[in-house]
Structure 1
Amino acid sequence: MFATIRLILVTLVGVLLGLASAWWAVGNIRFDEGSSIGQWSLLDDGAKANPYEAVRVARRGGGGLGPSEGVELITEVDADGKPLEASCAYLIAGPMPQGVLWTLTISDRDGHLPDNPARRFGFTSLDAMTFGPSRQVRISIGREVRPGDFVATTGLSSLRLTLRLYSPTLATRAPGRDQLPSVTLLGCDEGKPS
């Protein structure tokens, strides 16, 4: 009798540990096989066959971009390599590839969008302000409103930035580090009562 109960407990613990480790692995972008461009992770065709990425895409309700459509870049770290935190403010600044339609979406790691009164979840190449001859962007994100292009991160417990570049030529030749914006920390502990 004791051996049967022990077998059931060991099996139950094994199943729970297996499910927990699978849940953790699906939420961890370190298992991507894609290459990196600075702080951005680029998903190439090999990474699209990655079972972890397939589950991540299904979890957030996306379909990903096909090779003839463009590329998708994701970051969960700032320019210094530190994890992005929802309680902090960041500046996304720098160039975007020229002649390319793009979208930048702010979400949490599970794909949930911020809950903000403006109903703004990101910017596109059609509505973001650009500066200078290289058409650089300056988009700030955080819990406290900032001037210029801004997305409130209210309601997010984690932070992920997804940059989609729509151009068939980018699928064969990815943009260089100097063609992508960087994400820098502006400050933390926003929106907490003092």
Structure 2
Amino acid sequence: MQDVRREHYRVFGVGFPYWYAIGQLKQESRCRDVISRDGVGSQGVAQITYRVWQKYLDDNDVVEIKSIENQLRAQALIMKQCKKQAYSSHLWTAYQVYNGGPLVNKEISRARAALHVREVPHDTARKYCKRRTITFLDGTKLNACDINYEYPEQIYKYAQQYKLFSDGSYIFW
């Protein structure tokens, strides 16, 4: 917990609600240093696809993610990028970018255009989701919309036991 807090404070500043990062680790790997069965090479406690993030992480002095310390640093750095890419200031959107890429931004854009609103709630954006069904290596099939929209719900739920103070200037939902 303290290592997660330190890395997120280093990247975001001391006001960041780091307990969501702990919830994210629980959702990603049950806080275990594992190689995923997702078929894309996700690894570590934060399930980072290093080949996707290698240049960005190298540029930020994370040249490998074999150690837990580097995995946590990479998690915080990637979340910072995801927050910059997200079309909403709400954290649920950044977590969805982390999990499924920027497709959530298309869904937010569709909802904004249809509803003529600036901020789109999570459940409203979900209604504008159009993604494929994913077949995992073990034959299990899941709709990518369900996967990506349930992701921040799980993070939020898992994080509550670690929450020590108000979210401050960060809004999750």
TM band (smaller chain): under 0.3
For the pair shown, which has the larger CA radius of gyration, 1 or 2? 1
More strand by share: 1
- Given the two structures, how large is their TM-score scaled by the length of structure 2? 0.25
